[in-house]
Amino acid sequence: MVTPEFKANLLERVDIVSLISAQVELKPRGSNYLGLCPFHNEKTASFSVNSSRQFYYCFGCGAKGDAIQFLMDYFSLSFIDALKELCQKTGVHFPEEQSFINPTPESMRKHQVRSDHKKLLLKAARFYRSRLASDSDAICYLKKRGISGQVAAKFHIGYAGNSWNSLKEVFSDYEDNTDLFLVGLIKKSESGNKVFDRFRNRIIFPIFNKNGEVIAFGGRTIVDDSNGPKYLNSPETDLFVKSKELYGFFDAQRFIAKSQFVIVVEGYFDVISMHQAGFKNTVGTLGTALSSSHFLQLERISREIIFMFDGDKAGRRAAWRAAQLVLANLSKQDVLVSFIFLPQNKDPDTFIREKGNEALAKLLKSGIPLSTMILETICSPGRLSSVEGKSIAIAKLKNLFKSMSEGIFKRQLIQAAGQHLSCSISEFGDDGASPKKKYPEKESHKGFSKKKYELVASPEMQMLKVLVRDIENLKSVSSEDRKWFMKDYEVILTWIQENGVIGDNQSGGDNLSNEFKQDYGMSEDMIQVVNKALKIDPVLDNVLKTEGTLKEEFEFLFVTLKIEYLETKAKNLSTNPEVQIMEIHEIRREILSLKNAQVE
């Protein structure tokens, strides 16, 4: 058997969308990706991959599972071979096979120890939280920081009093319990004669893993003095590694998955203030630099990532380190990454308290795209005033490009760098070759090359059904949008607009207008499309009967079709080296805005 910890750690490192899209053509649909199922023959795409849940499901045949199951079913691998494949891909050490089949007493003991440690930490968290309610100084401090009682309860904020051994109240074996040392709740004096609490006179922030289990604590002193650090974290343990955890992620993940958008800040109070202000898709890096694990975790469940830093020199240095790390780890081509710099001596917490929510919302729209951040940092005008300066810039960019995965973004960035420096892209030593697939070839499924009239359940077909029933909706399509709207069915739309009707939509399509057939010289395929649109649809027909309009259905489908149009446009522009990358970013921002509005 595989230990839950090993499997969870392995799957956490895998992006299931990238894994499956190497074999199946996938297209984004809201927070999911859709394609033709590789496990049964179908004409209409029903195979859904959920990036945030790291799970796939086919509505046609019922195939489902995680990355391990996909490799097993798609390549006919054994469970162990699928694990080895993923371990090799992610760089995880694969233990001896025997330990999977017959877990040793040692592995079982470790599993039990981890479970016991989580129970200790949960007990401590409840104790700290109970102490907050009875300490007026701690409550007063939180009120000064603008934190409401409701939000404090949501984040399970607690308080550790000034006593040296307050945890003794909940742990009767306080001085002899070695597990309390291992999880970082207590310490020993240098002489070893005295045992005392790690956290004293501090606001306590429980740190939860993505499953909602307490794995560590952070503490902020309520009295600023020079006797100790302002912030203090639990030491790293088997449960807690700072470079793998994001503060607030457990609460934020469903909002990130829904909006496909995440804001990254640095401190505990920054995260809490952002959530209180309504920006519930915010996480924090626990006072440490952004790590590869952090970024991959965020990239997996979002399509736009905004990093928020202080505007001082230290903040800009941290942002530059983060930008380089993102470049080296970026694997998805449709992720927007940008950077926000706050005014001097301001962090998100103080900015919100002084300027308000609307000011922050406005600031979030002024982010510096990753590409701009890279080029403006390395290619600042002062550095390019000489041949030597330009040569240094080319060398730095060349090293950055070497760290990047192949793809559209890399090619676009290289093109932009060449234009910025007025040099040939050959200077960077990269030909922008397409990446090779990492898994064996299997017969491809070209599902989306099918003619649209074959996709009976497509948004286009649903839109036709709406329009033939409620013609007034067509009048709301602007002349600008008519340039792209339902272009494959333009002849049908023109007839509707000029004549108001195609046939009897209550007859099951039998009375399709002969005039329509003759005047427009419809092909048999297009006549089939019209017949399908006219067939009785119990849902739409009932809505029209009760509401008298299909306006809501029309508006939803219109946004869906516009998203498809913009995604295709962005994809086509990405392959054109003459197109500025900012133009593509603007289109992607519009796509994200439409998707967010559609979800709401």
For the stretch 281-292, pLDDT in tens is 999 998 788 998
pTM of this structure: 0.62
Structure tokens at 286: 């626990």
Non-local (6+) Cβ contacts of 465 within 8 A are 533, 537, 540
Identify the top-confidence range among 8-22, 91-105, 516-530.
8-22
The predicted structure's pLDDT at residue 189: 83
The set of residues, in sequence order, having a beta carbon less than 8 Å from that of 387 and lying 6+ positions away, is none
In the predicted model, is pLDDT for residue 89 greater than 80? no
Q: What is the mean pLDDT of residues 271-277?
A: 94
Query: What confidence tens digit (pLDDT) does each residue in 123-152 have?
Result: 999 999 999 999 999 999 999 999 999 999
10 Å CB burial of residue 101 (0-12, 13-18, 19+) is exposed
523 or 435, which is more confident: 523
More confident: 223 or 339: 339
The pLDDT, as a whole number, for residue 5 is 73
In the predicted model, what is the mean pLDDT of residues 212-217?
A: 93
Is residue 206 predicted with pLDDT exceeding 80?
yes
Nearest to 560 by CA among 434, 462, 478: 462
Q: Specify the pLDDT at position 518.
A: 58
Q: Which residues make Cβ contacts (< 8 Å) with residue 295, sequence separation at least 6?
A: 305, 325, 326, 329
Band of residue 517 on the pLDDT scale cut at 50, 70, 90: low
Least confident of 2-16, 40-54, 319-333: 2-16
pLDDT average, residue stretch 339-367: 90
* Nearest to 145, CA basis, from 314, 233, 268: 268
Q: Per-residue pLDDT for 600 more than 70?
A: no
Taking only the tens place, the pLDDT of each residue in 576-593 is 666 666 677 778 778 777
pLDDT tens figures, 532-588: 788 777 767 777 887 788 888 888 788 878 888 887 787 777 666 666 666 777 787
Residue 436: predicted pLDDT? 42
Question: For residue 457, is pLDDT > 60?
Answer: no
Question: What pLDDT does 598 receive?
Answer: 52
Q: Burial of 382 by CB count in 10 Å (0-12 exposed, 13-18 middle, 19+ buried)?
A: exposed
Model confidence band, residue 183 (pLDDT cutoffs 50, 70, 90): very high
Provide, rounded to the nearest whole percent, the portion of the chain with pLDDT above 90: 30
Reply yes or no on whether the pLDDT at 63 is more than 70. Answer: yes
pLDDT in tens, 301-326: 788 999 999 888 888 899 999 999 99
pLDDT (0 to 100) of residue 340? 94
The residue among 407 and 596 whose pLDDT is bigger is 407
Average pLDDT over residues 219-233: 84
| d(C-alpha 86, C-alpha 68), whole Å | 8
C-alpha separations of 268 from 288, 364, 569 in Å: 12, 19, 40
**Helix locations, 343-451, DSSP H:** 348-355, 357-364, 370-378, 387-403, 408-421
pLDDT in tens, 459-499: 778 888 888 888 888 888 888 888 888 877 877 787 777 66
Q: What DSSP element (H or E) covers 552?
A: helix 551-574
pLDDT grade for 501, boundaries at 50, 70 and 90: low
What mean pLDDT, rounded, does the chain reach? 81
Q: Using 50, 70 and 90 to split pLDDT, how confident is the model at 157? A: very high
Q: In terms of pLDDT, which residue wins out, 508 or 8? A: 8
